[in-house]
Structure 1
Amino acid sequence: MSQLDTTLEQQTSHQKKMIWFVVTFILIAAVGLLYVKWWPYYHKSLTAAHTHSIGSSILGDLSTLTPSWQTAWDYAVAYFQSVWKAAVLGILLGSLLQVLIPTHWLLKLLGKKSFGSTAIGGIASVPGMMCSCCAAPMAVGLRKKNVSVGAALAFWIGNPMINPATLIFITFVLSWEFTLIRLVFGLILTFGVSYLANRLVRDAEPVYDQVLKDPQQEGSFLSRWGKSLASMVLYILPAYVLSVLLLGAGRVWLFPELSDTAANSLMAIILFAIAGMLFVIPTAAEIPIIQTFMSLGLGSGPAAALLITLPAISLPSVIMVSKSFPKKVIWFLLASVVILGIVSGLIGKMIL
């Protein structure tokens, strides 16, 4: 057998191996999402259609709470009981993505600074239906594979913002007007803000022939995955848990009681837009929070602001991805979420 034949055989074997890796990743993702997201949300949709509710507010009765370590602990327990399965799945997929998906395959789809790569990242987020914290490990994994800023941001933000299950819940529990606001601003955040973030980055687009041999594919699969998983757990979990505790303790300050005259004011919209951007919640938890607040007299303006800013990002999720994106991109995203939250609040005040 000639050297050329041997080389071609090795390349064919390598290609088949890569295909099996990708198929394995897709199967793990599909089974995990079916168990953690798709099947439970199917039943929750039926519940929302019949009862016009998906549960009580995770914030609890704020009128009886005072900032304390017990308050922090109680919220952290309630929060992690709701998200732990999705969080584990997010870390698992984020680590497997780095060792199962060939870098040059990802870069051809998601490595460009064009709107096309951003759009593919956003569309790929739709089946995930993750909250911002559970999607963060996958965004980190994408950035470690040199995926463009816009594509990684679109995938991260798209998970909570254009989650089809959440849109269904909003329609049944709140109203179709709220659903329309969420969809429009979700699309702007996912595709528009993510694409504009690419303009802030001067890094050149990757040259594909320089990454055909993926250095991350060297060594055994178990050793590579073990390093990827350990790095992700050690980096993500401590900051994640600590920030959830701090926000749980301070939720009384973030969501204060408002007088009747202030409940639908511009100041309330701004305050709740900022609070929503900082606070951390499970997937779709913004719906019972808004439902409860409005039953207590909160105006439609601040409610519409929360509808955008609560799910989009949070302080814990931003901390988790902070080393994966340039600082100016992070600050641009924070400002964009708050500004769009305020705009949605003003629109909500006028039409709801």
Structure 2
Amino acid sequence: MEGQTHLPASTVVKNNKRWIVGSIIFLIAAAIGLFLVKWHPYFYKVIKSATEHSIGSSIVSGDKASAPEPSWTAAWNYSVVYFKSIWQAFVVAIILSSLVQVLVPTDWIHRLIGKTTYGSTLIAGFSALPGMMCTCCAAPLVVGLRKQQSTVAAAVAFWFGNTALNPAVLIFMFFILGWKFTLLRLLFGIVLVFGVSYMAGRFSKETADPKPIVEKAKTAQDAKGNFLIRWLKSIGAIALATIPAYLISVFALGAFRAWLFPMVGDQLTGGILAIIAFAIAGTLFVIPTAAEIPIIQTFMSFGLGAGPAAALAITLPVISLPSALMVRRALSWRVLVFLGALVSLLGIIAGLIGTILIG
């Protein structure tokens, strides 16, 4: 085929062996990293949630009905608590995102999650479940997958699969908030991961067959030199693309979180306006993994209704302004606005159902 590079058979065999070894190394690195920062700690957190019916205090307001007034102190305090909670998972995410670009061949990614068929969405969504990352920690991996020519739908399915269908969070939620919240989260999580993500792919109008692009990327990948240099360059590129906007936006949201989450009391317990307000706030705000549970638990202890609480249960973990900024070069602003709007809408619908189901 014109424009396609044909490599000698010996070189192809050598490259295939290198990619097989590289892919095994990537899987081992992923297993070790996730065990240290997710699987092992969450085992003990499951026990805590089952025995104490709590996994900590609200990161938004502590044990109070509202967050502190906007200030530099509020921004700093939130940022410190937030980054202490997520930094280890974020480091693992940066490492895995860089490794997937230098150890896993582009055409392998294309075969699995690089086609616009629904199968790519399913594979990406299910492959995200062991990760159990928060939306911002999953973002570098979304960037890495897109650089390796995954489809938009698959990248979003992986992104939302980490958050909306996190198995550990579903267990925490069952023990702390009850089966009704858990069922609502599970059902809407399935819609988000396997429905909204596929819709986003359609909405993006991406090319049905990016094979020529994949071939070009694979040729360039094969031609690269020293592994360590390629890896360090990949880490640097991902860090530069994600970290600055991440730091600034988390700091800003931490400062003004009182505006997003006003005091819960006699004037704000339920109703459609409260559901809409909390659905939008949950879509924009950024939290560590599972932090939505103590946030909801605290707000409900001060009288927040089941409707707004259900809206938070769906929207808080899935997407945020910082995570959107982090993936802005991997997913267009058009797609990100589409995703944010649908997450908010589903949060509102969940809130209305929660008002009836949970009461």
Q: Is TM > 0.5 for Structure 1 vs Structure 2?
A: yes
Q: Give, in angstroms, the shift of residue 15 of structure 1.
A: 1.1
1:206 paired residue among 210, 216, 229: 210
Render the CA deviation track for 1:249-301: whole Å, top value 9, x for unaligned.
00111100144354111000000000001111000000000000000100000
| Distance of 1:210 and 1:86 partners within structure 2 | 33
Q: Distance in 2 between matches of 1:113 and 1:10?
A: 30
Q: Match for 1:223 among 226, 229, 232?
A: 229
1: distance between equivalents of 2:280 and 2:35? 33
1:153-168 to structure 2, matched below 5 A, reads: 153-168=156-171
Q: Check whether the contact 2:282–2:316 (CA below 8 A) recurs between aligned residues.
A: yes
Contact 2:67 2:262 in 1 (8 A): no
For the aligned residues, what is the CA RMSD? 1.5
Cα separation, 1, equivalents of 2:219 and 2:110? 11
1:102–1:214 contact (8 Å) kept in structure 2: no
| 1:235-314 equivalences in 2 (<5 Å) | 235-260=241-266, 262-314=268-320
2:332 matched to 1:326?
Answer: yes
Residues 82-161 of structure 1 mapped to structure 2, 5 A cutoff:
82-161=85-164
Q: Distance in 2 between matches of 1:214 and 1:122?
A: 28
The offset of 1:203, in angstroms, is 2.9
Residue in structure 2 matching 1:78, options 81, 93, 104: 81
1:233 aligns with 2:239: yes
C-alpha distance 84-141 of structure 1, shift in aligned 2 (>3 A): same
Q: Is the 8 A contact 2:160 2:193 kept in 1?
A: yes
Is contact 1:149-1:197 (8 Å) kept?
A: yes
Letter of the structure 2 residue corresponding to residue 206 of structure 1: P
TM-score (norm 1): 0.96
Q: 1:121 to 1:246 in 2, by over 3 A?
A: same
- Counterparts of 2:218 and 2:309, CA distance in 1: 50
Match of 1:193 in 2: 196
Query: Would you say the 8 A contact 1:301–1:348 is kept in 2?
Result: yes
Give the partner amino acid of 1:113.
Answer: T
Task: Give the drift of 1:206.
Answer: 1.5
Aligned length: 347
**Separation in structure 1 between the aligned mates of residue 230 and residue 347 of structure 2, nearest angstrom:** 41
Name the structure 2 match of 1:12: 13
Q: CA deviation at 1:104?
A: 0.1
Structure 2 length normalisation: TM-score? Answer: 0.94
Name structure 1 gaps, 5 residues minimum: 1-5
Task: Letter of the 2:158 partner, please give it.
Answer: F
Cα offset, 1:62, TM superposition: 5.5
1:3 match: none
Residue segments in structure 2 that go unaligned for 5+ positions in a row: 1-6
Do structure 1's residue 341 and structure 2's residue 341 form an aligned pair? no
How far apart, in 2, do the equivalents of 1:219 and 1:159 lie? 33
Query: 1:304-346 CA deviation, whole Å, 9 max, x = no partner?
Result: 0000100010110000001111222111101000000000000
Between the two proteins, what is the percent identity of the paired residues? 53
C-alpha distance in 2 between matches for 1:335 and 1:244 = 20
The change in CA–CA distance for 1:261 and 1:251 in structure 2 (over 3 A counts) is closer
Farther off after superposition, 51-60 or 251-260: 251-260
Aligned to 2:45: 44
> Offset of 1:183 from its aligned partner?
0.4
The DSSP-based 3-state class of the residue aligned with 1:283 is coil
Cα 1:114–1:147 shift into 2, 3 Å: same
> Where in structure 2 are the equivalents of 1:169-188 lying within 5 Å?
169-188=172-191
Residue by residue over 1:188-227, the C-alpha shift from the partner in whole angstroms, topping out at 9 and shown as x without a partner, is 0111000011112233222278358441341211121111
